[in-house]
Chain A
Amino acid sequence: MTETLTLDKPRSPRRPAARRSNFELYSWLFMRLSGLALVVLVLGHLFIMNIVDGGVHRIDFAFVAGRWSSPFWQFWDLLMLWLAQLHGGNGLRTIIDDYARKDTTRFWLKIMLYASMVVILVLGTLVIFTFDPTIA
């Protein structure tokens, strides 16, 4: 039995437990759990940024400085950054698997995806932790 999950006897009481890893199961579960958290984090973010108190017209450097002076919003943004990036990146990995026809295309698309995820996660995290409201 190979890694592929065959569904020839879907209702048999026990299926051969020959899968080498449960990665796809955890990834499936992660999409749902992170999605649930992102409902609050991202929809809350969009509401605050676009609707409340003049929306986008009040956003500038001083506004961000005010928000990131609070550990609560720093943590909110950090969590949103990591969950959205991993959730979206994992979703894109699935999409690449679905549409790339050649193994080399698949390989290079995934390298690009993972590289962009690392860049965004590192940069976004650094920006939150090293923010300096008195920068010239």
Chain B
Amino acid sequence: MPTTASPPTAAAGASRRSGTLYIGDPGMWSWVAHRITGVLTFFFLFVHVLDTALVRVSPAAYNAVIETYKTPLVALLEVGLVGAVLYHALNGIRVMLVDFWSKGPKYQRPMLWSLLGVWLVVMVPGAFFMLQRAATELFGGH
């Protein structure tokens, strides 16, 4: 059964020098990470819609659950989630460029390094703002 997102397999590249077109290439790992981050976000969304639905139960019930979002440990998980979604979004744009831009396949690898660069540049200040409060609660401010 053909699926839309499988990486090309070695079979088609039998005549190529290395024997494979894609396996072992950083492009393969970028696809693995895209898959994992997509699944992770999907599962988060499931829980997230359930917790948001508590606004229909009572303000107290909703506020009680949202309080857990503000604890240091969960704040760390949120940074992880934001990092995962950001990677998935940036790599998704790269996938689209590879598919639709005539030079996309040629530049797939430099585009991967660039997206990792953008990811770092966004995540460093992002993590700082997201963890500021948790850090003062844990290590100072008493």
Show the binding face of A for B, using Cβ within 8 Å: 4-5, 7, 24, 27-28, 31-32, 35-36, 38-39, 42-43, 46, 50-51, 54-57, 59-62, 64, 81, 84-85, 88-89, 91-92, 94-95, 97-98, 116, 120, 123-124, 126-127, 130-132, 135-136
Contact = CB atoms under 8 A, between A and B. Distances in A.
B126 A51 contact: yes
A61 B2 contact: no
Interface of B: 1-6, 12, 35, 38-39, 41-42, 45-46, 49-50, 52-53, 55-56, 58-59, 62-63, 66, 69-70, 75, 78, 82, 85-86, 89, 92-93, 95-96, 99-100, 126, 129-130, 133
Given A4-B2, A46-B85, A36 B56 contact: no
Contact of A35 (B6, B59, B92, B129): B92
Interface of A is mostly: helix
